[in-house]
Structure 1
């Protein structure tokens, strides 16, 4: 038998390889067993403490002090929220539905003695959703529960909530000013066309369809200003009326104080807290500690709690309400599908409305025999026409097969947001909802002049006169512009025709109130594009009545949302256990994952860019969108 002996050099490298291979396996095993131990401990922690709920004792003060953005639906996934909370972070979003049910539950909860409001850090929310919260606070107060509000610095939206309290206190160094509503935008025509050489071609139908004006004008058009001021004045007067009613003030006096702000500030030598007290917007000037001392005197002392009084925070109270609800699917019930955000094609993530994904949720409601009726909660400025039509068809299909559909409009249900609403059996809106904007537009930017500025030119050949006509690096042929305008006009006819059929009007009647014009909810009702004034609860009651499920309190409600993965279902409870929370708080891996999965806010320019780029083979994409939020 022959054997080959290795030389010293070969033996060295073979030995080195063996050492490296052993080291690699050792490291992999360490990582594997380390992760195994980590998840084992997390699992044990979840079993031991994952189902723990805060103990609610008698004479508790419910403290509502959210540091979050008010939303209809979470835009982040459960995994991200669990990671964030496990590492000591706060929930960056607060669902409107959770605030409303917490306030309504507190009315009946014998352990909740009073509510302390501190809404300085509550962001987002339009006038419609804030009015729903304000109404819930007013109901709580009317039930006999004391509501105390405290602020160090509030804006006028936050004050709408605080004003509903029995007592409103402001820090002596605090600020509160009512200034009115405004809507100012940047206009880019000179910068884009004159400076950069980007030609923006706008195609639209509707005198008041002003969504894309900033890209073709240097200032708002007269029609745009006329329409905006009309609905904004309506919303503002309603706001003043709400404040006056809550604070027992005179609307005329309140209006005069707002319009003469400089004189008022001068009269108190710049002391805005004193000005708020003089104008009866607040009941007294107190520091945070003084308000806490007041809560301690009126409530139950607890030296271990923040502030020294027995309290439960909003998040913990919601968790308390949710105890035992997981996995419960009622038999016959009203299903709620939320359509919040821009309407885009395909499957959209939370915070946007996907033509495919939203349609799938409505199909689930259609196919579920336990769903007796559907409430479509719409909070959307619109978006792609085809995606909007996909969703509208599912609404029509539900109705055709005997399941009532009621729309509840949130802050905004305009343009494409109205498109998906119009076929409902009944449309509810808050008087301050922004709706309408029945119009179509399309925007095509071309960059030939911009490229020429840096010495880049486009040239080539095509097999037909209009091959390559939609290449954005070439000038837009006027005849192609005619083609696009014709397509946009067809989209407008589709829009107004469908609205006319759904609302039992003629096309001419709808065209007279359409033209891209925006209306408040109250103005929309006067013009027949909204059926009734009311919030989400009113829509639920209506849907239940149509399905013969009984009155409020006699029927069940379930939200149909995108089904989380098994890991997303398991991890939140696991991560919020005592052991899991402690370990993840020290985990660099967890922090890295959290950063990676953090949601990013959508921007108007991103929407326009996506609309221009993603045409899915179609030369023209019609858009029904309204940049009409406050």
Structure 2
């Protein structure tokens, strides 16, 4: 009887699952057909193209994080754009290209900067944008910055404007650079957790919070040294842009307690008195000023958003057949294996370098690094591909962004030339290993571990057991070997002796300017300068184009990108019902669509995908 019941239950379960699977396939089939219909209707609709008129102002109002490379895939971004979702990332390359194109475009009269919604951007990233703004001004065009409230990072861009307008009730406060961390030693001791840190270099402080309750003297010394260098460059840049003495700006900051009180707490007035801004103006007053400067159009000034302008420029430019300088982006933590965009993968990033090497149209390679490091093995895979690319006769130039430290320096060391911004964070040539075990923690709960092993190493890294000192010696020996390997490779790449590298390594961090003084960097400059150097090394002169070497889009991704890039994307957005847009914005639906984008029509695959989320 029990077997019969089980049989009935299994049958019911089978039919229930079949029904669910049918409904799932039907729903997504309908969505796919609906999107296909929208696509063809949009194509037929045509029109809607942006027409750029004379005396137009380009509005630069990036929202979210400014990154080297998107952290989401093309399909996700395309769906978000087509269905009215906000993308909270902007690529640095797109901003630079747009500003430079506008500088040469006679239809663009001025640049209007609205920096308030920049969420995150490194100092070197902001410096590169500032340099592009200066090129725009050098073309004889005006730049106006309009802000409600600015952080010191946002101000680094605004300071390059000919005129800076701040809301009367807004604020601008320059505070300097700080690095404060949370330390856990007492808490871990109280929990009974044993922490074992293996490292080479007294300045390799990444894991100090687990073994100390405060920063070590070496950590404070090194951090303050490079931060003073970066902060000095910041003051120098805004001082130069605003025609102010950097020392006077620094003195004002130190005197804030008095000056803010004297201004009755009015930070906007204080910024005006300090000549950090030119005028206090509400939004409507700023808009009226811009109308007066330009052309009135639809109750505002004639303008185009930088994203719309970038699309327009791309459409207007014909197919470029010139020789290529290939740019490979290494952004984020360095991890083993194949990784998505926004993260450096030992296998995936090495493959991109290899593709650049094997592409006959690419005559030189620029490795754009913005990474704090990670896996040493993954770093070595990428470094080796750089070495092979040079051996194949293609120049490799490294361009360091905000940070290229530790593993980020490892993958950079073999470049024919290394470029860094003065504010780049680099160096940190060192290695560490961290292991935690918690037998004392378990003992507090009256839980114990026991057993046997065929050798003394069997189960030695079981976190429930105490670490055998002999095993600790083994790990430290491996770390020592890794460090010697690191400095030996750097010495060979930089044509120095290992002991010379050791003296400036030992995990110590430097600014880009400090690294150049110590021979770890060849030139100070950004991606633009590195690309020009790559073209020169390949003897291309000025006759070249820049191509980013990235993962190829699948057929599904190309379809979605074409849909979102079409000039009638706004028409698509208006056509799609709100309920459908809401459905497509759901994380589980986007996950299913991402899965669909990974399918290869030439292969038969079995996919296990859980349409679920635990909260």
TM-score by length of 2: 0.89
Give 1:398 deviation, angstroms.
Answer: 0.2
Does 1:257 find its partner at 2:252? yes
Q: Separation in 1 of the partners of 2:570 and 2:488?
A: 58
Give the aligned partner of residue 602 of structure 1.
none
Query: What SS does structure 1 have at the residue aligned with 2:389?
Result: helix
Conserved in 2, the CA contact under 8 Å of 1:50 and 1:578?
no
Conserved in 1, the CA contact under 8 Å of 2:332 and 2:371?
yes
Q: 1:241 aligns with which of 236, 246, 258?
A: 236
Conserved in 2, the CA contact under 8 Å of 1:50 and 1:573?
no
Conserved in 1, the CA contact under 8 Å of 2:322 and 2:544?
no
Deviation by residue 1:25-49 (Cα, 9 ceiling, x = unmatched): 9979975774465133222134235
Q: 2:295 aligns with which of 289, 300, 304?
A: 300
Q: Separation in 2 of the partners of 1:59 and 1:586?
A: 40
Query: What SS does structure 1 have at the residue aligned with 2:155?
Result: helix
Give the aligned partner of residue 140 of structure 1.
136
Pairs within 5 Å for 1:128-527: 128-192=124-188, 194-303=189-298, 308-323=300-315, 328=319, 330=321, 332-527=323-518
User: Number of aligned pairs?
Assistant: 573
Q: Separation in 1 of the partners of 2:239 and 2:564?
A: 46
Q: Separation in 2 of the partners of 1:152 and 1:146?
A: 20
Q: Separation in 2 of the partners of 1:311 and 1:243?
A: 27
Larger mean Cα displacement after TM superposition, 466-475 or 225-234? 466-475
Q: 1:586 aligns with which of 579, 583, 595?
A: 579
> Structure 1 residues 24 and 481 mapped into 2: Cα distance closer, same or farther (>3 Å)?
closer
Give 1:179 deviation, angstroms.
Answer: 0.8
> Structure 1 residues 375 and 37 mapped into 2: Cα distance closer, same or farther (>3 Å)?
closer
Query: What SS does structure 2 have at the residue aligned with 1:586?
Result: helix
Give 1:579 deviation, angstroms.
Answer: 4.8
Q: Separation in 1 of the partners of 2:548 and 2:200?
A: 37
> Structure 1 residues 35 and 251 mapped into 2: Cα distance closer, same or farther (>3 Å)?
closer
Conserved in 2, the CA contact under 8 Å of 1:41 and 1:579?
no
Deviation by residue 1:298-348 (Cα, 9 ceiling, x = unmatched): 111111xxx61111011111111221669x574521100000000000001
Conserved in 2, the CA contact under 8 Å of 1:337 and 1:559?
yes
> Structure 1 residues 523 and 26 mapped into 2: Cα distance closer, same or farther (>3 Å)?
closer
> Structure 1 residues 460 and 258 mapped into 2: Cα distance closer, same or farther (>3 Å)?
same
Pairs within 5 Å for 1:6-45: 31=27, 34-35=30-31, 37-45=33-41
Give the aligned partner of residue 563 of structure 1.
552
Q: Separation in 2 of the partners of 1:477 and 1:203?
A: 14
Q: Separation in 1 of the partners of 2:47 and 2:420?
A: 38
Q: Separation in 2 of the partners of 1:524 and 1:25?
A: 59
Conserved in 2, the CA contact under 8 Å of 1:62 and 1:116?
yes
Give 1:508 deviation, angstroms.
Answer: 0.7
Larger mean Cα displacement after TM superposition, 577-586 or 401-410? 577-586
Does 1:55 find its partner at 2:51? yes
Deviation by residue 1:373-397 (Cα, 9 ceiling, x = unmatched): 1000000000010000000000000
Name stretches of at least 5 consecutive residues in structure 1 with no aligned partner.
Answer: 1-19, 599-630
Query: What SS does structure 2 have at the residue aligned with 1:383?
Result: coil
> Structure 1 residues 217 and 144 mapped into 2: Cα distance closer, same or farther (>3 Å)?
same
> Structure 1 residues 33 and 451 mapped into 2: Cα distance closer, same or farther (>3 Å)?
closer
Does 1:83 find its partner at 2:76? no
Q: Separation in 2 of the partners of 1:173 and 1:278?
A: 15
Conserved in 2, the CA contact under 8 Å of 1:171 and 1:288?
yes
Give the aligned partner of residue 122 of structure 1.
118
Deviation by residue 1:128-152 (Cα, 9 ceiling, x = unmatched): 1111101111111121111000111
Give 1:221 deviation, angstroms.
Answer: 0.3
Does 1:536 find its partner at 2:530? no
Larger mean Cα displacement after TM superposition, 562-571 or 222-231? 562-571
Which one scores higher on RCO, CA 8 angstroms, separation ≥ 6? 1
> Structure 1 residues 364 and 147 mapped into 2: Cα distance closer, same or farther (>3 Å)?
same
Q: Separation in 1 of the partners of 2:452 and 2:34?
A: 63
Conserved in 2, the CA contact under 8 Å of 1:210 and 1:224?
yes
Dislocated runs of 4+, deviation >3 Å:
23-37, 48-53, 328-331, 593-598
Conserved in 1, the CA contact under 8 Å of 2:226 and 2:511?
yes
Query: What SS does structure 2 have at the residue aligned with 1:174?
Result: coil
Name stretches of at least 5 consecutive residues in structure 2 with no aligned partner.
Answer: 1-15, 593-615
Q: CA RMSD in A?
A: 2.3
Give 1:50 deviation, angstroms.
Answer: 7.4
> Structure 1 residues 392 and 52 mapped into 2: Cα distance closer, same or farther (>3 Å)?
farther
Query: What SS does structure 2 have at the residue aligned with 1:336?
Result: strand
Give 1:79 deviation, angstroms.
Answer: 1.3
> Structure 1 residues 53 and 340 mapped into 2: Cα distance closer, same or farther (>3 Å)?
farther
Give the aligned partner of residue 5 of structure 1.
none
Deviation by residue 1:557-587 (Cα, 9 ceiling, x = unmatched): 1000011211111113325634532316431
Give 1:54 deviation, angstroms.
Answer: 2.0
